[in-house]
Amino acid sequence: AAVLFRVVEKFSPTLLIDEADSFLTDNDELRGVLNSGHNRLAAYVIRCVGDDHEPQKFCTWGPKAIALIGKLPATLADRSVSIRLRRKLPGEVTEQMRLDRARELEPLASSAARWAGDNLSRLAAADPDVPAELHDRAADNWRPLLAIADLAGGAWPGRARAVALALSAEADD
């Protein structure tokens, strides 16, 4: 946990966390750091540092993707857009994702970064309509994604809202 909040403070990374089922369940401090990064205004932890144990505020804001077998702890799940995966069925055909060829995705990443940079002020000012069926935290989780879809236009606004409802409305079902 101490390394995580210091890395987020210093580098503002996107966290891609895999195998979380092996360490997250029994680590209250790490879960607390991840939980704290949900809302930009409250995305910080305070820790004592140095020989004088001076309180210092560390930023924990940033995008995160957490993969695990099973379910996220409830506090993290409530702050998440959950996508449940399943194994490929015997008759399904997929293209293999080879890590040694990940550089093929660099043009897509570059285009996405350029689009985000070009539209940052419009996204920051956006206030998208959120389906009423989403409870408060789910609405908060989906608001930035819906803003992106609205700005992209075309079929994206409708698709994004349909997916939000499919994944997050009545999340207890």
121's CB contacts (< 8 A; 6+ apart) are none
Mind listing the pLDDT tens digit for each residue in 13-65?
A: 999 999 999 999 889 999 999 989 788 888 999 999 999 999 999 999 999 99
Does 173 have pLDDT greater than 80? no
Better pLDDT: 3 or 170: 3
Determine the Cα–Cα distance for residues 120 and 103; give it in Å rounded to an integer.
Answer: 25
Residue 128: how many other CB atoms lie within 10 Å: 19
Taking only the tens place, the pLDDT of each residue in 73-127 is 988 998 899 998 888 999 999 988 888 988 999 999 999 999 999 999 999 999 9
- pLDDT tens profile 142-154: 999 999 999 999 9
8-to-41, 46, 134 alpha-carbon distances in Å: 15, 14, 29
Candidates 21, 123, 7, 111; CA nearest to 62 is 7
DSSP secondary structure, 102-115, as one string:
GGGGHHHHHHHHHH
The pLDDT of residue 38 is 80
Q: What is the DSSP letter of 142?
A: H
Tokens of 110: 């570059």
Q: Is residue 151 a contact partner of residue 165, using CB atoms and an 8 Å limit?
A: no
Is the predicted pLDDT of residue 172 greater than 60, yes or no? no
- Looking at residue 170, its pLDDT comes to 64
Helix (H), strand (E) at residue 17: strand 15-17
| pLDDT of res. 171 | 52
Angle at 26 between CA 17 and CA 81, to 5 degrees: 40
pLDDT for residue 66: 95
145 sits in which H/E element: helix 136-152
Pairing relation of β-strands 64-66 and 15-17?
Answer: parallel
